[in-house]
Amino acid sequence: MSVALIILAAGKGTRMNSDLPKVLHPIGGAPMLHHAMQAGASLEPEHTVVVAGFGSDAVTRAALAYDFEAQVVVQDEQLGTAHAAAQARDALAGFEGRAIVLFGDTPFVRPETLEALMNATADITVLGFEAADPARYGRLVMDGDQLQRIVEFKDATEAERAISLCNSGVLAAPAPLLFELIAEVGKDNAQGEYYLTDLPALARARGLDVSVVRCDEAETLGINSRAQLASAEAQFQATARADLLEDGVTLAAPDTVFLSLDTLVGRDTLVEPNVVFGPGVTVESGATIRAFSHLEGCHVSRGAIVGPYARLRPGAELAEDVRVGNFVEVKNATLGTGAKANHLSSIGDAPIGEASNIGAGTITCNYDGVMKHHTEIGARAFIGSNTMLIAPVSIGDEAMTGSGSVITSDVESGALALARAPQVEKPGMARKLFDILKAKKAKQSRGS
């Protein structure tokens, strides 16, 4: 069955107290809009239409960053959910398949739930949930397995308020029918806006079938405030951690590990406490990520060990059995199989060959204030502690640099490079210098 997604993402989110559009606030290192788009992508939709409004330029960039084929339409005035969905009409002109209306600020609807909506046979299908505390949710008034209408809390009778089956806002219908019904929606309500909640009653008036697909209440969490955003982050992290544990990853202290929407970790990997996975991280099976490490935009291969206290920045590529130790930072650099940088080093813009050893305090000096430059280190090279590699520079296979060297020229394979200023010793000079300095300090103290 062909399906189209209409994702409503036009709201400002006044309660967020932010200049950022609500749907761009991050959960798991990604805009909440991306969560909705990812869930919908599991249906392999023929069309994805994002309805933007406040901050439409930023919402457009975010939508296209996730799916460059997505279509973004703009709701210039926010006149209700039905009015927002109507903005997708032209984008879906000629589309005869099923349309599913999602919300960019409701990020946790599961792919399985969306599949049930896609496969429902009723003319209109609404996503509902049994609420532990129905509070002020709209109620789904049923007649057997048919949904008669959605009634808002403020308009509900006491009997209707006793209903625990509540409206999520998400619904599905054949696209032509959806837009036909939206055209019939009026704005005879306190807000003077057009709402999708009118569609079931309009459909029933035509004698159409209107059904309900039920989901867990946690899937329907909408985010309207910073407090709800924090709760959503906690919910995302709990679910993501549980998924890793189920997939065979060892988390030594799960509550201290933080994951992103796109984090991929292979089974039999050990993740120690207080590790942060930023966006764009893949860790293959059997790796070890030690405590207090931060990874972002990087790839860690099988058998590699990272940390403790390591930082892998975007473009870091670690081959099998690499060792990156404490207080080592790697950015836009590739470490070949078995290479080691065990402590206190900064490696950037550098391919490093297999089995090379990077000594403590090594820095690839890659930035001249304007341009980035590359350092190339061959296989089985040995870089002595506290070596400064002034890029652009190349170190050959099995070459060596002496500790404390400042390397400004290429080093050929197998060579030893020493680049230190000659040591000069002046007998008795230390005592004389100390005497001079002490006298100067005493004179300053008397003057004060």
Please give the backbone phi and psi of residue 216, each rounded to the nearest 5 degrees, phi first: -70, 145
Residues 124 and 211 in one domain: yes
Question: For residue range 230-268, what is the model confidence (pLDDT) as tens digits?
Answer: 999 999 999 999 999 999 999 999 999 999 999 999 999
Helix 32-41 and helix 56-66: axis angle, to 10°?
40
CATH number for position 355:
2.160.10.10
CATH number for position 44:
3.90.550.10
Q: Which residue, of 220, 245, 262, is where some domain finishes?
A: 220
Residue 442 lies in a domain: no
Task: Say whether pLDDT at 314 is over 90.
Answer: yes
Residue 340 pLDDT level (bands cut at 50, 70, 90):
very high
Residue 164 lies in a domain: yes
Domain count, the chain: 2
Residues 156 and 247 in one domain: no
Is the CB of residue 236 less than 8 Å from the CB of residue 219? Answer: no
Residue 431 lies in a domain: no
Residue 231 lies in a domain: yes
Is the CB of residue 49 less than 8 Å from the CB of residue 70? Answer: yes
Name which of 199, 201, 154 is nearest 179 in CA terms: 199
Residue 429 lies in a domain: no
Which sequence positions are flagged as catalytic? 343
Residues 107 and 201 in one domain: yes
The one-character DSSP state at 173 is: E
Residues 267 and 136 in one domain: no
Residue 310 CA, chain-centre distance (Å), reads: 20
Mapping DSSP to helix (H, G, I), strand (E, B) and coil, where does residue 40 land? helix
Mapping DSSP to helix (H, G, I), strand (E, B) and coil, where does residue 179 land? helix
Residues 68 and 26 in one domain: yes
Query: Domain residues for 214?
Result: 3-220
Average pLDDT over the chain, rounded to an integer: 95
Residues 310 and 402 in one domain: yes
Residues 352 and 314 in one domain: yes
Question: For residue range 381-418, what is the model confidence (pLDDT) as tens digits?
Answer: 999 999 999 999 999 999 999 999 999 999 999 999 99
Task: Say whether pLDDT at 348 is over 70.
Answer: yes
pTM above 0.75? yes
Residues 9 and 52 in one domain: yes
Burial readout 23-35 (b: 16 or more C-beta within 10 A, e: otherwise): bbbbbbbbbbbbb
Residue 362 to residues 367, 386, 408: CA-CA distances in angstroms?
A: 15, 5, 14
